Amino acid sequence: PGSRQLLRELYPHTGRARIVGVTGNPGCGKSTLVDALVRGYRKAERRVGVVAVDPSSPFSGGAILGDRIRMQRHAVDPGVFIRSLATRGHLGGISRSTDDVVSVLDAMGFDVVIVETVGVGQAEVEIVETAHLAIVVVVPGLGDEVQAMKAGILEVADLLCVNKADRPGAERAVQDLQQMLTLRTDSRPPPPILETVAVSGKGVEELRAALDARLEAGAGSGLWQEWQERRARRRVEELLRESLTRRALGRMPEQELGARIARVARRELDPFTLAEELAGLAPSTDGVRG
Ligand code: GDP
């Protein structure tokens, strides 16, 4: 409660941070890589915020544990702020809460905000889209690449990172990705593919340099306004969805709603009619025969 008002007041102070999405399958080395990127940014004397989103976990327990482990490394550094979010089950979805946290970090003056998400479904594609640029992390071994392709994640990648390049098959993975990139439907130039070994830091500075080059090129051009507008639109739409859903569901007493949903489940009523009724677009289904 009250967060909305605070976020409203913060809003004019946002809009400066470079927002970077990092996504990939569990275990591909995202946290290790983000950690290495953070170290690089700190060496360059830039302040970094990290939002680690786990869309699959409704519990904050795991997230807090993850926070602790990572925070230890940067515990005494005021130039780093790391926050984990376990967002499943929140009305308003992952993007809303993530965007709010990103906003706070932006207002706090962090130069770069990294949004790290597990790449397992549609949710992370959305989160990646809220960032200015997205890094998609894959590991050697064809399975991951196919998986990435399936999730449509390659479509949103601005940079591709083959992490665990110390493992056999890295070169092959790069080739596979190059092959798959030829299937991209959009007209943007293909994303560069970089190899990293996050555990040793090998290739991470090169990745950061490629990332920064793109971020700064964007920030210094008409792209920046485009990025800001994309985020602004998403936020408005997300808030709208949330408030309209809340309002529509609030129109009907819970018991009545439950009864209607039971009818949908029994196929006595179709979900389209009920949704339209709740949205105020269709007359009440009271008279519909069961
Ligand atoms: P996440 O689930 O994507 O965040 O992955 P983590 O960062 O937790 O890494 C998963 C495991 O892979 C850990 O045991 C890491 O130490 C290991 N790992 C991360 N990067 C590399 C790498 O470049 N090479 C190798 N061999 N292992 C790595």
User: Would you state the pLDDT for residue 119?
Assistant: 65
- Which atom belonging to ligand 1 lies closest to the Cα atom of 34? 7
User: Would you state the pLDDT for residue 187?
Assistant: 74
User: Would you state the pLDDT for residue 76?
Assistant: 78
User: Would you state the pLDDT for residue 92?
Assistant: 44
Q: Note the pTM of the prediction, 2 decimals.
A: 0.86
d(CA 90, CA 219): 32
Pocket residue to mutate for ligand 1, from 22, 32, 67, most atoms within 8 A of Cβ: 32
Report CA(27)–ligand 1 centroid distance (Å).
6
User: Would you state the pLDDT for residue 184?
Assistant: 75
d(CA 21, CA 252): 39
pLDDT in tens, the chain (290 residues): 788 999 999 999 999 999 999 988 888 899 899 999 999 999 999 999 999 887 665 554 444 555 556 656 776 788 999 888 776 555 445 567 888 999 999 999 999 999 988 765 555 567 666 799 999 898 998 665 565 555 567 777 899 999 999 999 999 889 888 888 887 777 777 899 999 999 999 999 999 999 999 999 999 999 999 999 988 998 898 889 888 999 999 989 999 999 999 999 999 999 999 999 999 877 776 654 43
User: Would you state the pLDDT for residue 238?
Assistant: 84
Nearest CA to ligand 1 atom 19: 29
